[in-house]
Amino acid sequence: MLRFIIKRVLAALLTLVAIDVITFVMFFAIPSSPAEANCGKNCTPETIARVNHYLGVDRPFMVQFAEFNRGIFLGRDVDGGRVLNGKPVIDHCHIPCLGYSFKTQEQVTDVIGRALPVTTSIVIGAAVLWLVTGVGLGVYSALHRGKFGDKFAIGVSLVGTSMPVYFFALLLLSIFVFSTGLLPYPQYTSIATNPAKWALALILPWIALTFVQAAGYARYSRSQMLETLSEDYIRTARAIGLPARTVHLRHALRAAITPVITLFGLDLGAFLGGVAITETIFGMHGMGWASVQAASDLNLPVIMATVLIASVFVVIMNVIVDVLYAFIDPRVKLS
């Protein structure tokens, strides 16, 4: 098992290095001059050159790449060419240094530090909700196949999967905020500052994501459960005299939920990188929102950071899912 995990982690690290290189190449290849874009009215060639030097984009590719990665792991000092009281000013970009935002000149790490908790708050909360409701609904449907409850659940989840999240999000806003005023317009508050306000602001984004995601999970767990219920080992479980509840909730669910958990891990990895539409509609300044902003500003360091972090989440969740699967399913060959 340990060997399997180590192998899996090494493979993941390799993937991350590849992503790092590809992202860097991609953005290096984009012809844009952020210095010109942000240089303002009294722009002289000297200012542009100075800004370029400060940003480091005037150096060769390999140097920049090495610098960038050294920054992530060791931090780095940046000589902006500024002089104060006759001495050059050196800024220290702390670990994990992802460079400086072209737009606000602050460290990208700080930008991410603000955005990441917002996204994780939205996504982890919603994920728990959609997993529980989705699987619950799916299992209920499967056990009441063809009856009213099943048909109703299928109908609701059909609406859920065919409704775009922005539509449902706007619907929620107009019902709960604009028409009835039952809830204030969401405003993110850190959970450490005020847990009640934190939850209050997150209710609507949670509901929006849960509805759309739970629908898919309900359908998937329903079909997995139905498939499992027709397995021979379920017939065996009944043949030894186990009560129906135990057959369904222990023997059937155990097998049916495994692929659902896999899907859940992968979804979680993808969502933690940012849920741009939901964040934007509910005015939440999370990773998705930050990357949309950065893209429209051609704010390369921030774009790179969001892409890298999103990839890290995807890769990490992949490893977790693989290892978990090996624990759940004894048939998985650990080689």
Interacting residue ranges for other proteins, rule: CB under 8 A: 231-233, 235-244, 251, 254-255, 258, 328-331
Reduced to 3 states, what is the DSSP secondary structure of residue 80? strand
**Given the complex with other proteins, which of 181 and 330 has the nearer CB atom?**
330
Report in angstroms how near the CB of residue 235 gets to other proteins at its nearest.
7
Report in angstroms how near the CB of residue 2 gets to other proteins at its nearest.
20
**Given the complex with other proteins, which of 41 and 333 has the nearer CB atom?**
333
- Separation of alpha carbons 257 and 225, rounded Å: 8
Report in angstroms how near the CB of residue 246 gets to other proteins at its nearest.
8
- Separation of alpha carbons 263 and 278, rounded Å: 21
Take residue 230 and report the two structure tokens written for it. Answer: 């027709």
**Given the complex with other proteins, which of 98 and 142 has the nearer CB atom?**
142
**Given the complex with other proteins, which of 94 and 254 has the nearer CB atom?**
254
For residues 12 and 316, is the Cβ–Cβ distance under 8 A? yes
For residues 280 and 188, is the Cβ–Cβ distance under 8 A? no
**Given the complex with other proteins, which of 182 and 239 has the nearer CB atom?**
239
First to last CA, the chain: 9
Report in angstroms how near the CB of residue 225 gets to other proteins at its nearest.
15
**Given the complex with other proteins, which of 111 and 255 has the nearer CB atom?**
255
Measured in whole angstroms, how far is the alpha carbon of residue 250 from the centre of its chain?
31
- Angle (nearest 5°) at CA 229 between 228 and 233: 80
Report in angstroms how near the CB of residue 66 gets to other proteins at its nearest.
48
Report in angstroms how near the CB of residue 249 gets to other proteins at its nearest.
14
Report in angstroms how near the CB of residue 137 gets to other proteins at its nearest.
22
For residues 171 and 285, is the Cβ–Cβ distance under 8 A? no
Q: Is 215 exposed, middle or buried (0-12, 13-18, 19+ CB in 10 A)?
A: buried
**Given the complex with other proteins, which of 128 and 332 has the nearer CB atom?**
332
Q: Is 77 exposed, middle or buried (0-12, 13-18, 19+ CB in 10 A)?
A: exposed
Q: Are strands 76-84 and 87-93 parallel, antiparallel or unpaired?
A: antiparallel
